[in-house]
Amino acid sequence: MKKVTKAVIPAAGLGTRFLPATKALPKEMLPVVDTPTIQYIVDEAQKSGIEDIVIVIGKGKRSIEDHFDSNVMLEDNLEKKGKLELLDSIKKTNNMNIYFIRQSYPRGLGDAVLTARSFIGDEPFVVMLGDDLMKSKVPLTKQLMDSYEKTGNSTLSVMRVPHDDTSKYGVIDPESKIDEGLYNVNSFVEKPNPDDAPSDLAIIGRYLLTPEIFDILKKTKPGKGNEIQLTDAINTLNQTQRVSAYEFTGNRYDTGNKLSWLETNIEFGLNRPSIKEELKQYIKDLANSFDN
Ligand code: UTP
């Protein structure tokens, strides 16, 4: 079985749920406390043992490339001023094995993954959505890689969501339990009406896929929203190769929508020692002022 060493991070979407902020700024660059979302995702890839990362970008996404490049003027300035901690923080992202591909038009997540075909070649790989943060002791990507080593199956990560929220996600129709938290899947349903949802297990932003997905993606016609849906291609893959679903039990933060992005900032802020106490006090005072 080939080892998983590569990751694709699609980041070429329009981010319409976050307008007007995303008119000129990629949503993947929106900070959580002081770090762009996409950097947390790159960190997760590296902590999971991924060696090469390709980020799919598009029009207006230049700042993502710049973020993972060096900035000599800024580095000199911080060095001269003796701001060594900040210097380390910006140099951290200079020498990662990150490549960039352009998706010429945002035709959907499936199409974004397809642009990475030559980079991936004939190997299993992971897809990590550029706006979906995961927090757990063992990174979710690593958990998927470990599961793949046991089963050899393409594996999607899923999470239990409130039943009424199923219409916001791709949802799985589980067939049987293979192991604790690991399912065989009958089908994947894109954004079902809660009345028709086959389960409460929603697909979240980490996928481990075998390279056979590329031939299928090439033939996949636009589906919901007139976009080439990765879920549609995975459904087709599941007809010929077993696709499993792995239940994630850590925390997930969708930074692509306004409310969740704000919540994420508050939670991550409360975990950041340098601002934690003041932020906690601010939230308490604010809540009291609303009570009165
Ligand atoms: P989303 O559906 O969350 O992103 O796709 P979006 O289309 O940018 O968001 P809204 O709905 O308009 O607010 C998940 C990930 O896939 C990427 C996005 O950048 C995001 O990180 N994506 C989506 C692409 O790279 N290309 C696409 O054509 C669509």
- C-alpha 178 to ligand 1 mean position (Å): 31
In the chain, CATH 3.90.550.10 covers 6-256
φ/ψ of residue 210, rounded to 5: -85, 155
Q: Using an 8 Å Cβ cutoff, are 181 and 247 in contact?
A: yes
Residue 10 Cα: closest atom of ligand 1: 25
For residue 268, pLDDT over 90 is answered with yes
Domain at 6-256, CATH from 3.50.30.50, 3.90.550.10, 3.50.50.60, 3.40.50.720: 3.90.550.10
Q: Per residue in 43-83, pLDDT tens?
A: 999 999 999 999 999 999 999 999 998 899 999 999 999 99
Ligand 1 binding pocket includes 26 (Cβ within 6 Å): no
Q: Using an 8 Å Cβ cutoff, are 159 and 201 in contact?
A: yes
Q: Per residue in 124-145, pLDDT tens?
A: 999 999 899 999 999 999 999 9
CB atoms within 10 A of CB 197: 22
- Which pLDDT score, from 0 to 100, does residue 292 have? 65
- C-alpha 11 to ligand 1 mean position (Å): 7
- C-alpha 269 to ligand 1 mean position (Å): 26
Q: Per residue in 82-127, pLDDT tens?
A: 999 999 888 887 767 899 999 999 999 999 999 999 999 999 999 9
Mutate to test the pocket of ligand 1, among 109, 115, 207, 224 (most ligand atoms within 8 A of CB): 109
- Beta-carbon contacts of residue 269 (< 8 Å; ≥ 6 apart): 33, 275, 276, 279
- Looking at the DSSP bridge assignments, the partners of residue 253 are 133
- Which pLDDT score, from 0 to 100, does residue 291 have? 72
